Amino acid sequence: MKNVLLLTDFSNNAWNAIFAALKMHEHMACHFCILNTYEPSFANILGDKSKERLGIIYDSLRKNSANELDNIVQYLKVNHTNKNHTFETRSVSNDLINAVKEICVEKDFDLIVMGTQGATGAKEIFMGSNTVKLIKMINSCPILAVPSKHDVKGLSKILFPTEFIRPYPKLELKALTDLATEWKSEIFICHIAQEFSLNKEQISNKNILIERLGKVAYSFHNVEIQVSVADSISRFAEEVMADIIVLIDYKHTFIEKLTREAVVKKVGFHSKVPLLVLPQ
């Protein structure tokens, strides 16, 4: 059974990410843990009676969190009758990153899912600050970021950008091959670069990748860097009508370029499809 952590702040984005996760795993046996974190704003507790006020605020936040999580479960019981899926909820008084770190130590999750701002305009940013922090700080579990309003219909086309600069350990691609096998997807392997001649090491790594993919359908594509790595990936994703983008979180490569604060703020990652980040 696959263990999936669903992060929610009860927003429409979070709901959309939950629906996406359920759709993507509709044929898989999964246990979903729905996590909400809460912290009071210090602006609300300053004053002479700050301790008393802090207790009241914490109690209010705790009750609201528990009630909203219960509402989610009740909704899913009525509207989501997939016998392959089970649910539990967690309400934690902590910041998001520390709460995720702690629960990942306690439970062996196969995937973390969260909603993002979406990218419907040229100047909008796909990955918000929480998504960026989570990708940077959590390196033990794949993370799926789902754009707001994105409706998962299927996963027939998976985009996998790579530079072939590192070998692919057997378990590193498991989340990718599991999805491709489950959905009978084709993996579009795109080499993002300015020059496409491969050295001996890259050729060896490419052959290892082919071996790791096994019987999964795949094709190779060269994609020249134009404005930026992020722009090149998202443009090619739109060109081939990819349903999801999968990246490996190698240090000093794609994901670092995508998540640097300057890139996120000035360029953004304008993908309209989910992004799955695999840990190295």
- pLDDT for 242: 95
Q: Tell me which of 124 and 191 has the higher pLDDT.
A: 191
Going by pLDDT thresholds of 50, 70 and 90, the confidence category of residue 256 is: low
CA distance 271 to 135: 16
- pLDDT for 265: 37
How many Cα atoms occupy the beta-carbon half-sphere of 194 within 13 Å?
Answer: 4
DSSP symbol at 280: -
Least confident of 128-137, 148-157, 196-205: 128-137
- pLDDT for 113: 96
* CA trace torsion 24, 68, 61, 150 (10° rounding): 40
The SS3 assignment for 147 reads: strand
Going by pLDDT thresholds of 50, 70 and 90, the confidence category of residue 251 is: low
Helix count and strand count (H, E) for the chain:
9, 10
Assess whether pLDDT exceeds 60 at residue 159.
Answer: yes
CA distance 154 to 251: 30
User: Residue 47 is encoded by which pair of tokens?
Assistant: 């004053």
DSSP symbol at 153: -
Assess whether pLDDT exceeds 80 at residue 58.
Answer: no
Q: Tell me which of 184 and 266 has the higher pLDDT.
A: 184
Assess whether pLDDT exceeds 70 at residue 31.
Answer: yes
Going by pLDDT thresholds of 50, 70 and 90, the confidence category of residue 138 is: confident
CA distance 115 to 134: 12
User: Residue 118 is encoded by which pair of tokens?
Assistant: 């979406």
- pLDDT for 120: 47
Assess whether pLDDT exceeds 80 at residue 218.
Answer: yes
Residue 233 and residue 148 in contact, taking contact as beta carbons nearer than 8 Å: no
* pTM over cut 0.95: no
**Beta-bridge partner residues of 93:** 38
Q: Tell me which of 115 and 44 has the higher pLDDT.
A: 115
The SS3 assignment for 224 reads: strand
DSSP symbol at 253: S
Could you tell me the strand order of the sheet in which 157-162 lies? 85-93, 30-38, 2-7, 111-116, 143-147, 275-279, 244-249, 157-162, 186-193, 217-224
Q: Report the chain's C-alpha Rg in angstroms.
A: 20
Residue 221 and residue 190 in contact, taking contact as beta carbons nearer than 8 Å: yes
Residues 6+ apart with CB under 8 A from 137: 97, 101
Return the closest-CA partner of residue 251 out of 133, 136, 131: 136
Q: Tell me which of 189 and 131 has the higher pLDDT.
A: 189
Average pLDDT score, the chain: 84
Going by pLDDT thresholds of 50, 70 and 90, the confidence category of residue 89 is: very high
Q: What domains are there in the chain, each with its CATH number?
A: 1-151 (3.40.50.620), 153-280 (3.40.50.620)
Q: Tell me the CA distances in angstroms from 215 to 12, 148, 154, 185, 212, one per residue in order.
A: 38, 33, 20, 11, 9
Q: Which helix (H) or strand (E) holds 181?
A: helix 174-183
The share of the chain scoring above pLDDT 90, in percent, equals 52
The model's pLDDT over 182-202, given as tens digits with 9 standing for 90+, comes to 999 999 999 988 889 999 999
User: Residue 228 is encoded by which pair of tokens?
Assistant: 């930026």
Residue 97 and residue 133 in contact, taking contact as beta carbons nearer than 8 Å: yes
